[in-house]
Amino acid sequence: MKIELKNISLKFEEKSPLFANINLTVEHGDFILIRGKSGIGKSSFLRLLNRLHEPTEGQIWIEGKPITDHQITSLRRRIGYLQQTPTMIEGSIEDNLNLPFHFKSGRQLNRPSQKILEQMLGNFLLTSIDLQSNAQNLSVGEKQRIALIRTFLSEPEIILCDEPTSALDSESQKIVENAIEQINVEKKTTVLLVTHLDFIPKRAIVKKFTLNQDSIMGEEK
């Protein structure tokens, strides 16, 4: 999935624009790392790509068509979104992991078996957790790992990661970063990662950018 942002500006109500004249091309399989000063609108930038926000000016093109020509449910099926603060519904961990398969956009996916879910928990060092336990009782780090597993299970073509490790302990941070890098390298899933932390890739080829108010600039390698 190729994404092109052309002269994108975003502002809310009568406030000054968060950013303006942003141009960026994201190719299939890219790992894009976006940094920028606090308040510049990094999270809002990501939310443009799954239409949680709409640009004030400019156009976003996906696969050669304006983003508005794509059905929102289909778009959000193809573009996963990992938030800074993981969201868990009331219910068990299994309920939360199976959440994408209850939506219309996820009906074409095969619901994973309990065995596969347990294997995924093991991959994220969550073997001590029972699938039937209450998801609300998990730590923040555990919730973020569950949210990441849930995103992976929905098999998105692109994953938008909004400061996914900022509230995690060092162990959880490494697990989440390694998993995001792994899905990019092995599955060729496109990743756009917003962070204020240092991210040192081990395997992925990362394209680094800095978001400014009037541009998005590639960083020197």
**Which H or E element spans position 95?**
helix 93-97
pLDDT digits (tens, 9 = 90+) for 175-194: 888 999 999 999 999 999 99
Which class for 172: exposed (0-12), middle (13-18), buried (19 or more C-beta within 10 A)? Answer: buried
pLDDT in tens, 7-63: 999 998 877 888 999 999 999 999 999 998 888 899 999 999 999 999 999 999 999
pLDDT value for 36 = 87
| Average of per-residue pLDDT across 121-130 | 90
Nearest to 158 by CA among 65, 77, 52: 77
Whether 167 has a pLDDT exceeding 80, the answer reads no
- pLDDT, residue 102, reads 74
Q: Within 13 Å, how many C-alpha atoms sit on residue 191's CB side?
A: 32
* Nearest C-alpha neighbor of 206 from the set 168, 194, 215: 194
Global confidence as pTM: 0.89
- Whether 113 shows a pLDDT value over 60: the answer reads yes
- Contact between 158 and 49 (Cβ < 8 Å): yes
| pLDDT band for position 106 (cuts 50, 70, 90) | very low
Q: How far is CA 203 from CA 130, 185, 186, 187, 200, in A?
A: 32, 7, 10, 13, 9
What is d(CA 33, CA 204) in angstroms, rounded to the nearest whole number? 11
Domains of the chain: 3-218 (3.40.50.300)
